[in-house]
Amino acid sequence: MFQWFALKTYSPFLAHCQLFPSRCLACGTPCDRADWCTPCRARLPWVEGNRCPQCAARHSAYGLCGQCQTQPPAFTACVPALAYRPPIDQYIRALKYRSQLLYARLCGELLVHAVQNHFDLAPAPQPECIIPVPLHSRRLCRRGFNQALEIARPVARRFGLPIDYHCLKRIRATQAQTHLSPRDRASNVKGAFLIHRQPPYKRVALIDDVMTTGHTANEIAHCLKRAGVEKIEVWVVARAG
Ligand SMILES: [Zn+2]
Ligand SMILES: [Zn+2]
């Protein structure tokens, strides 16, 4: 069943062909040219409730969270599409660890929806380019692709933005952040990135699959600011926390 969905998702011809009507990825109900039926799409874990406007962490009041008030990150805003909960966590794991690239297209399109809402709510000059969070060369060789770059492609196409995959490099292989304490996460990514080519931009959007504490995005934003970038937004498919 899964491979059947995968085949349709890869092939626009099959997905839109009358002989093979689209089916909802979650419940299998036939639905016209969509990945989910309307009820299943509404049940996705969209971000909701009070969120810090800078780091997008959930908190109980309006305005900046305590962390952003005392130690603001170097990025201006985090724009998450969804909360890191089922089924989005499963989609992202399938993409990263089982190379199911169809989820990059799905995640990218969900991110397009969030970024469009962000532009509608707060009209401001758009970023001049998209920078996907780079992988270390060893991890890139092992995985064969960078999930952030694959997620960035539909977003770049929709908003007509170039992707710059060469200005930033990850020069140190870091441990997965998942099982580290907040303090260890900060030191884990400290000095892990390097400006490889001077970015000729003032405004950029950094794209990643998941943001947990924001230490990785913050470290990169500091690097970009030192290189002359003034405004960095972080666009992520899923926000944990
Ligand atoms: Zn459904
Ligand atoms: Zn915050």
- What distance in angstroms lies between residue 76's CA and the mean position of ligand 2's atoms? 10
12 pLDDT more than 50? no
The number of the ligand nearest the C-alpha atom of 36 reads 1
The number of the ligand nearest the C-alpha atom of 38 reads 1
- What distance in angstroms lies between residue 57's CA and the mean position of ligand 2's atoms? 6
- Reported as a pLDDT band with limits 50, 70 and 90, residue 191 is confident
pTM score, two decimals?
0.88
14 pLDDT more than 70? no
Arithmetic mean of pLDDT, 24-52: 89
- Each residue of 101-135: pLDDT tens digit? 999 999 999 999 999 999 998 778 899 999 999 99
- What distance in angstroms lies between residue 174's CA and the mean position of ligand 2's atoms? 24
The tokens for 62 are: 């309006």
The number of the ligand nearest the C-alpha atom of 217 reads 2
- What distance in angstroms lies between residue 215's CA and the mean position of ligand 2's atoms? 12
Residue 37 to residue 28: CA distance in whole angstroms: 8
Which stretches of the chain are DSSP H helices? 2-10, 12-16, 38-42, 66-70, 88-98, 102-121, 137-143, 147-159, 182-189, 215-226
Q: Does 50 or 12 have the greater pLDDT score? A: 50
- What distance in angstroms lies between residue 167's CA and the mean position of ligand 2's atoms? 27
In the block, residue with structure tokens 């064969």: 144
- What distance in angstroms lies between residue 212's CA and the mean position of ligand 2's atoms? 12
- What distance in angstroms lies between residue 180's CA and the mean position of ligand 2's atoms? 20
Give Cα separations from 41 to 45, 108, 159 (angstroms). 9, 15, 23
Arithmetic mean of pLDDT, 63-79: 95
Does residue 73 contact residue 215 with C-beta atoms inside 8 Å? no
**Residue-range domains of the chain with CATH:** 1-43 (no CATH), 51-239 (3.40.50)
For residue 177, the model assigns a pLDDT of: 65
Count Cβ neighbours within 10 Å for each residue of 32-67 and write b for 16 or more, e otherwise.
eeebbbeebbeebbebeeebbebbbbebeeeebbeb
